């Protein structure tokens, strides 16, 4: 693999003739490879070859703004694939989706939406159609405080509050600001601060 990445040459199985390739390798992991390198659990030379342009994608539960978009997409796609009329989520179902823990990330969301699409009889998917985990969700504010202290917990809470309001307002930030009792200047500042 190192030779392939370095020289961009491969040899087919059973052949001794090298062939040039033009590829970009995309590597995904749920581990911190830099930590693995320091512990001697991952080869340093391979790390430097695959860590050219790192992109950190937070877990789905930290990207509330993506949940509704992905759920709508999966619902439409599932309905089309099964030849059933396109359905929509009720506001209560949307709230349930936003409160999910999503430990399985996008795959778990896809499975929940597919099941709900097939279980819902009418044109609307309600919370009772969502086969979601029922275990209590950990308090994200306390979790943030344990990880990064008070300031991090406050920032995480503020960001989550903003995201939930923006999602409920259908992406309309002015409407979300009114709901939260913020003036437009405050909302603009917070949207920029949290890159929303």
135 occurs within a structural domain: no
140: pLDDT confidence band, cut at 50, 70 and 90? low
Asked if residues 179 and 161 have their Cβ atoms less than 8 Å apart, the reply is no
| Chain segment 74-121, per-residue pLDDT in tens | 999 999 999 999 999 999 999 999 989 898 899 999 999 999 999 898
For 20, residues 6+ apart whose C-beta sits below 8 A from its C-beta are 8, 9
Q: Do 85 and 35 belong together in one domain?
A: no
Q: How many domains does the chain have?
A: 3
Among the three residues 109, 129, 149, which one is the final residue of a domain in this structure? 129
What angle (nearest 5°) sits at the alpha carbon of residue 148, between those of residues 147 and 150?
120
Measured N-to-C along each axis, helices 140-168 and 184-193 cross at an angle, to the nearest 10 degrees, of: 130
Q: Do 65 and 119 belong together in one domain?
A: yes
Q: Do 64 and 91 belong together in one domain?
A: yes
Angstrom distance (rounded) from CA 118 to CA 110: 12
Domain containing 29: what range? 2-50
84 occurs within a structural domain: yes
Stretch 148-158: mean pLDDT: 80
The pLDDT, as a whole number, for residue 146 is: 57
């Amino acid at each position: 693999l190192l030779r392939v990445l370095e020289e961009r040459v491969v040899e087919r199985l059973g052949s001794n003739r090298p062939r040039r390739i033009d590829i970009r390798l995309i590597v995904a992991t749920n581990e911190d490879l830099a930590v693995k390198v320091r512990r001697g659990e991952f080869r340093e030379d391979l790390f430097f070859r695959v860590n050219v342009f790192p992109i950190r994608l937070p877990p789905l539960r930290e990207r509330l703004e993506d949940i509704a978009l992905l759920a709508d997409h999966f619902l439409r796609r599932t309905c089309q694939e099964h030849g059933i009329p396109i359905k929509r989520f009720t506001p209560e179902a949307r709230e349930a989706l936003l409160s999910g823990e999503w430990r399985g990330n996008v795959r778990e969301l896809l499975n929940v939406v597919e099941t709900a699409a097939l279980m819902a009889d009418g044109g609307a998917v309600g919370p009772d159609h969502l086969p979601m985990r029922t275990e209590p969700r950990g308090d994200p504010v306390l979790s943030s405080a344990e990880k990064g202290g008070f300031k991090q917990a406050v920032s995480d809470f503020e960001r989550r509050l903003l995201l939930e309001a923006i999602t409920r307002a259908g992406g309309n930030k002015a409407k979300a600001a009114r709901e939260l009792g913020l003036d437009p200047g405050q909302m603009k500042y917070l949207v920029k601060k949290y890159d929303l």
